[in-house]
Structure 1
Amino acid sequence: MTMFRPLPRGLCRGAAAALLTGAALLLAGCSQGAGASDTVVSNGEITQDFTNVHQDPSWILAREQQLKLTPDQVTRLKALQASMDDERRAKVAAVRAANDRFKADAKRRDADRDALVADARSLSDAQLALTTSIIDGSLAGYAVLDPSQRKHFDDLIACCTKA
């Protein structure tokens, strides 16, 4: 199952935010308990702030002609995207495994507080690693662009994020 595919042309920040938020929060199985929705909103707003300015290499590649990418840049961005996809799959698996451990321990009537806290910490660390990977890949993709392409990229982003 491929979870991360290039966004279709014209799709704005909301879907990209959902990818980041979904990977970091929905896979964690956030419940609708007290405070859970506040956490999702807070993390969603942070994620939206990031995706209002940054995109991964697939977004850049989808705008190859608009950004006038060179063959070397296309090669570098494709390699970066492939690496990111592999890394994300591994990190998503780690989030799921940590979530499964937490759920299994949480369901026990005789649940041990220290074990639950350790599980929660492990889950948080896995989510942070996934989010960090997405951030790093997006910044690395932008770094491939030359100054005039960055200006055009910024103009495209600004166009998509107007309310």
Structure 2
Amino acid sequence: MPTYTLNINDEKQTITTDADTPLLWVLRDDLDLVGTKFGCGIAQCGACTVHLNGSAVRSCSLPISAVGESKVTTIEGLSEDASHPVQKAWLEHDVAQCGYCQAGQIMSASALLAKNPNPSEDEIVESMNGNICRCGTYGRIKTAIQSLAGGEAK
């Protein structure tokens, strides 16, 4: 089996695993970073979202061999003490119900806001479209993101 040196949450990690092992399972099973969740396994629900060089990607379908020297950020690496503005907005707007999808939601929202600090409502909806919330907190998710975009999005 090949060995990979990964940059996970600004720390170098060396992993020996099959080339086609999804990043999700390396994070959860090998590195004990369990904030990233398994939802569907086919990149359709967003529960497994992490950042790859700042962009939101689905870790369940990303083979470890494709990560290379890219910087991977998980929900654990977004902030050490849940002080990231998106995490604070999630609490302020009481977004989570069951909470299962929220790490993926937060990772998608934070990637959006890092690239576009003042997204329109349509841009928010489009960016978050691939993240499924079975509890249906979409309105609160949008409101939390809008609050960080300077209030009611244009």
TM-score normalised to the size of structure 1?
0.28
The structure, 1 or 2, with the larger RCO (C-alpha pairs under 8 Å, 6+ apart) is 1
Larger Rg: 1
TM-score normalised to the size of structure 2?
0.29
- Larger % of strand: which? 2
- Larger % of helix: which? 1
